[in-house]
Amino acid sequence: MITLGAYEKCRLYIEEKTRNAPDQHKDRLVKEAHPCITISRETGAGAAYVSEKLIDYLQYYSDPEESRWTFFDKKLIEKVLEDHNLPRTLSEYMREDKYKLLSSAVYEMLGIHPSKWTLIQKTTESILQLARMGNVVIVGRAANIITSKLRNAFHVRLVAPLENRIQKMMTHYNMSEKEATEFIRKEDIARKNYVKSHFFKDVEDPTLYHLIVNTGLYNYEEAAMLIGNAVMLKFPRFFEHNKKK
C-alpha cells in the first residue's frame, strides 16, 4: 500500500471535493457541510501529531463512501498560491511571522509582492472554501476566527506547559534548550500578533474555542480521541455508520 505524503493527500482531497461539488448546489452544500475542525496551538504543543491521529480516528467512524478526512497546516500556503495563481516565491511572505509593517510597505511600493491585505484575503477565502467542503482539519492562520460563523466548524486550542514544549522541540528537532526556548518564544509572539493585527482577537481567549486540550497532560493519541469524541458528540449524524457496528 502506497503511503501518500501530506501534500498529495491535500491535493487529492481538493480534487475530489471540487469534482463532487457542482456550482448549482453550493448553497445546499454549505448548509449540509460535514464537520470542519480548526486547531489553534501553542508552539510545541504537537498540533501536527494530534491532527494526524485525529483524522485517522474520525475516519474510522465516518462513512467510507464519503471523502477521507484531511488536515492542512503549513501546506495551506501552497493551497492559497495554487488557488489564486500567485508566484510560489511569495510563500515566504505568507508566514505568520512575516507581516512586519516597514518591510511590507517597502516591498509593496517596489511591486515585489501583493499587499499583506491581499494575501490575508486570499488566505481567508481558501480557509472558508476548505471549511465548507468539510471533513477537514485546519491548523493555525486564525482559521477558528475566519470560520466562526459556520455551523459545521468546531474549534480547538492545544496548549502545554512551557517546559514540556521545550523538551518536545529538543527531542523532535534536535535543538538545544536555549534554541528551543527562543524558538518557542518567537513563534508564540508571532502567532499572537498575527491574530491580533489582522483579526483583532486574542488567540489565548478561551471563549474562541469549543475545547482546549493540554497535551502536557494527555499524550497525542489521547488528545486526538478526546477531540474526536467531542466532534462526534457535536455532529452525531455524520458518524452514525461505524458507531452502529
Domain count, the chain: 1
Rounded average pLDDT over 5-17: 60
Q: Tell me, what CATH number does 213's domain have?
A: 3.40.50.300
pTM of the model: 0.77
Coil/strand/helix, residue 126: helix
Residue 6 has pLDDT above 70, yes or no: no
Residue 215 covered by a domain: yes
Residue 149 has pLDDT above 50, yes or no: yes
Q: Which domain holds residue 41?
A: 30-237
Among 16, 37, 39, 17, smallest CA distance to 29 is for 17
Residue 107 covered by a domain: yes
Residue 199 covered by a domain: yes
Residue 182 covered by a domain: yes
How far from each other are the two terminal CA atoms of the chain, in whole angstroms? Answer: 26
Rounded average pLDDT over 225-245: 83
**143, 127 in Cβ contact below 8 A?**
yes
pLDDT of residue 116: 56
Strand partners, 41: 158
The beta-strand segments (E) located in 7-131 are 36-41, 70-72
Residue 109 has pLDDT above 70, yes or no: no
Residue 30 has pLDDT above 50, yes or no: no
pLDDT of residue 177: 95
Among 203, 204, 186, 201, smallest CA distance to 100 is for 186
Q: Per this entry, what is the length of the chain?
A: 245
Among 47, 37, 40, 77, smallest CA distance to 172 is for 47
Residue 14 covered by a domain: no
For residue 68 the three cell numbers come to 477521507
Among 232, 235, 222, smallest CA distance to 49 is for 222
Element (H, E) at 178: helix 177-199
Q: Degrees (nearest 5) of the Cα angle 139, 120, 10?
A: 40
Residue 196 covered by a domain: yes
Residue 245 covered by a domain: no
Residue 86 covered by a domain: yes
